Each structure stands twice: as structure tokens, then as C-alpha cells.
Chain A
């Protein structure tokens, strides 16, 4: 059976109530075409397990798609708070668990290795692993190493029902290649019960085999894959297109107010991804092109190039 599907077919795999995790870090690599389609379908009651995919978290929080957020940090680097995310916690609309990056990444890593728990030193002494009314904030066990008196913290492995990643290119076998810093995508993909990939481009498998070092997630881990150009917009893809900072500013402004944000969501989820791109327009997409030397967008000024 072919792993290749359309974006719509891939989103069909996500059911209400599932736990889900998205690849991405700050303003990069986030499968946001997938997220917009999730929101368009109004799939709710999801448990998001996330490290730094601020965009997925904030959009889904703002769309009311989430029942619970398990996370280590969501902020829009350079633009401040993720306001929808903050709002759903401040209003008590969702359950939540706080981790550090390493603690949560270690939970994914443990699941990927088939281990029952991760052993970390992070969270010792801090309030992250505290309790409220006798209930642990995060499931953990303070543990003394059997090889001495060293204290460590044990955290259960985390295996999301669905992990969705976005890559630079992939093939029909589900091999996914990603350039640049790949955040936690390797760990997430190994941890997921079902791994879904969207990629900027499909290429022939021979291309993949010629550059195996770029393959961050091998096809054996990926159950479904779709070609979705600009699938990370408004986040960027290193060496392909930069984050759309104008769009990010607009988003940050809209997210200050629930009504304005609802209007934003309605706009970006009208029609399918092709419609979304058509509304953005060719020039806007071209403006995100990267300089081939640096791999990110440069602005030309009278005196030279400005990042």
C-alpha cells in the first residue's frame, strides 16, 4: 500500500481525543498546513504534547482544539508571548503539564528506544515536579540510583498517538529529509505511534539514497506522507524559505484579542492549502526566498544586504 496521500487524507487520521505532537521549533519547520486543515475540520479534544512548536500550540489553543497541553515552552521568539496558549491556561480552559525541554525530550527519547521511563536530573528541586492539593503536577518518581546514592528523577516515556512533521523533501517510501537544526523531530518521530509527514517536495528515492545524511526520519517510521509546498508557512524552512515575519507580526497582533483571532483563523482556514497560498500571492512567497549562501532571507538596501 502506498504511503502517499493528500493533506486531507492525512488529516483524516487524526481523531478527537488523540494525543498529538508536531515537529517544529520557534518560527521554523512547523507543519502548519496540517494544523490549518485540522482547525478547518474542527477536530477537537486533542492532547498536545509539545516542546517548542509554538505555532501549532498557539493556533490550536486559539481554535479551541485542545483538551490538554503537555509542554516545555511556547513563545514566539522575538515577538513575545503565545497569547492564545497563555489565555487557555489563565482561563482554566485546558489541563496542562509543565516540563523543561530536556525532560520532555527525554520522555520522547525513552519511548523511541522502547524504554519505560527516562532518567533525568532536570526538575529536581524546582516547582515543575511539585504538587497541587497532593496531586503531582507531572508524573514522576524521585529515585535513588541503584549504583550509589545519586538522586535522579524518573519520567514516563511519552508516545503520542500521532506525530506530524514537516520536512524539506521526501519520497513515496516516507523517507524525510530536513536541513538545518531539526529540534526534536528525530525523537518525536521515533516516539509516535503513527507518524505523518508533509514535505515541501517529493523526489525520486534515488535522490534520497544519494544524500542519506539528510534523512532525519527514515521511511520505516513514517506511515503516511504528502507533498505540501510551503506547508510550514508562516514558519520557515532553512535553505528554502524564511519565516514570514510580516505574517508573524499580524498574527501576534490578532492573537491579543479573541475576536480578532477568530477572524484570523476564519481567513486562513477558508478553502484548502492551495487557496491559502493563492491568497498570500506569488510575490509574498517570493519575498521569503533565501539567499543561497546564508540559507535565510536577506533584504537588499541601498548600502548592502540586511538580515
Chain B
């Protein structure tokens, strides 16, 4: 078995300009932020971003000029309000937005993950959403002659999710199976033509084998694994750490205008060599402050 361990820089290097890139996570939870920052750092362009419930990840990439298309059901910074970079780009017409509802967004990943060409259901009918999104069409069921919405499978060129642990072979785990939004990331991960998983920690084969039922993506589904501790920061990461709302607030303030956001990018992305440097700048105290008091 070959090792699937890569550096973040190597993994993100797999993305080509113009690729479709799906990002896991939702609201302020477990977005692959270290990976998003590296995409910005490598100045990828014209990406077609795909998500199901997006936030600071999309906003960062759109604000940094990496994206041409954003396809998702929501982009916002949770309690802070609208995603300002995203909003600015939308209102300037510099980005194409392909709308979804949450169900249709998940359906495109579910179809992509399970090899279905499309999934038909009653979502989005009667709305203006299908007109924005070529992935959504109306089909007439040959069984009952009624119209349904068909959502085409998503096969992103690259899918990126952030998880808790992985072994070097690429078996990826979350600490618990039954947290509500795990399955969305599973579908995102499975759907990718190339799948990059950043994890809090690379662990031994034995550690993975101790809880095989926690494995959400077997190695076949994974192109490479990258150890990126606090890789969702400033988003939360389940029982490992909570979000850093001060950091998010500072980000939100910086994103109020393009100049402020350019300064943010210089300070927090371009000015730092890699994720390690980012963490060092965030600082031990701040990381300890959000780290969950672990159970024994």
C-alpha cells in the first residue's frame, strides 16, 4: 500500500485553474480552512466552488479572487451576517452564482457519491432557483406523468473535506459517527474525482483499526491526506475545538471593504509561509482557549 500522505502545498497543487472544487463543512463548522488559505496562497483562479452550506470558506476564496462560480445554498458568516466579499462580488457581477436549496445541494453530492446520474424529487419546483443553475432541470416522470426536479450529480474535479484523523493509507475517520452533518462531508468526499482530506492528526493503523466503524472514507475514496492541526480554524471542529468568534469577527470587520480585506490577506495568508506559520501567528494561548476539554 502506498502512502497517501501529502503536504498541504502538494495537495492543493493538484488543483488546476478552472477546476471545480467542492468544500465540506457547513456554517461555521469544519470547513477546510487551512486548505482554503493554501488555495489562496497558490493563487488559484477561475475555480467553480461547490458546497451545500457555505460560509467563511467561500467568502475567503471569493474575496481573494480565486472563484468564477459559486454553487451552494447559502453563503453567510453565521451570526455576524452576510458574507461581505461574496456579496460584493455578486453585486458587482464578478461571480456567477448557481443557487441551490440544501436538499438539492446534498442531492448533487449524494448522486455524485453513489454513481447516479441525477436525483429527481420535488425540490425547488416553483422557485426561480433552477433558472440560475444548469445542474437543475425539470423531468416528467414516466411513471406518473408528473413533473419533478432533477439534480445532476456533482463530480467535482477536487473535493476537500476536513476530518479528525486518518492513517497514512488514507482511511479517514471522525471521532463519532452520529454527529448530524457527518454524512454531508462523506458525500462531498466520495463525489470528488480527486479527494483531498485534511485531518487534525495522522494516526497509526492500529488507531484506525480500533474503531473501524468511525471510518467515513475508506482509502479508495481518498487521493491524499494532509495533517493540518486546527485545519478548520477559525471554524469549530466538533468535540476537538470550538470556533474562535473573535477571529471571525476580526475577519468580518476586515472584509467590510476591499482594501481592508487585502490587508487581511497580506497579514494572514500571503504573509505566512504555510499553515504552521498561521498557527504560530494565532498563538498557543488562543488555540488552547478554544480547545475542548477532552474526555478521558
Contacts and interface: CB of A to CB of B under 8 A. Distances in A.
Instruction: Indicate whether A and B interact.
Output: yes
A282 B168 contact: no
Contact of A291 (B5, B203, B280, B295): B203
Interface residues of B, number: 26
Contacts of A177: 296
A254 interface: no
A283 B205 CA distance: 23
Interface in A174-212: 177, 179, 201-203, 207, 211
A305 interface: yes
Interface stretch (B59-67, B82-90, B282-290): B282-290
A282 B203 contact: no
Contact of B204 (A239, A274, A291): A291
Nearest to B167: A305
Contact of B206 (A179, A278, A294): A294
Contacts of B279: 282-283, 286
Contact of A214 (B3, B293, B296): B296
B207 A300 contact: no
A168 B285 contact: no
B284 A285 contact: yes
Contact of B207 (A277, A278, A291): A291
Chain A: number of interface residues, binned into ranges: 20 to 34
A177 B168 CA distance: 33
A282 B204 contact: no
Interface string A280-304: 1111011001011110001010101
Contact of B283 (A211, A282, A286, A289): A282
B9 interface: no
A300 B5 contact: yes
A283 B280 contact: yes
B206 A293 contact: yes
Contact of A211 (B203, B229, B296): B296
Nearest to B289: A229
A169 interface: yes
B276 interface: yes
Nearest to A289: B201
A102 B294 CA distance: 34
Contacts of B205: 304-305
Contacts of B296: 168-169, 177, 179, 211, 214, 239
Contacts of A169: 293, 296
Interface in B116-160: none
A277 B279 CA distance: 13
Contacts of A202: 293
A293 B212 CA distance: 12
Contacts of B229: 286, 289
A211 B296 CA distance: 8
Contact of B285 (A214, A239, A278, A305): A278
B284 A282 contact: yes
Nearest to A240: B294
Contact of B280 (A229, A282, A298, A305): A282
A278 B284 contact: yes
Contacts of B280: 281-283
A95 B283 CA distance: 43
B283 A293 contact: no
Given A274-B285, A282-B276, A282-B280, A294 B204 contact: yes
Interface in B240-292: 276, 279-280, 282-285, 287-288
Interface in A243-278: 274, 277-278
A294 B204 CA distance: 8
Contacts of A286: 229, 279
Contact of B168 (A211, A278, A304): A304
Contacts of B91: none
B207 A294 contact: yes
Listed residue (A179, A239, A298) with the most chain B CB atoms within 10 angstroms of its CB? A298
B201 to A, nearest CB: 6
A293 B207 contact: yes
Contact of A229 (B165, B168, B288): B288
B75 interface: no
A177 B295 CA distance: 11
A280 to B, nearest CB: 8
Interface of B: 3, 5, 165, 168, 201-207, 210, 229, 276, 279-280, 282-285, 287-288, 293-296
26 contacts: A168-B296, A169-B293, A201-B293, A201-B294, A211-B295, A211-B296, A229-B288, A239-B296, A274-B285, A277-B284, A277-B285, A278-B283, A280-B284, A281-B284, A282-B284, A283-B280, A286-B229, A291-B204, A291-B207, A292-B207, A293-B203, A293-B206, A294-B204, A298-B203, A302-B3, A305-B205
Given A169-B293, A293-B203, 12 more contacts: A169-B296, A201-B294, A211-B295, A214-B296, A229-B288, A282-B284, A289-B229, A291-B204, A291-B206, A293-B206, A304-B205, A305-B168
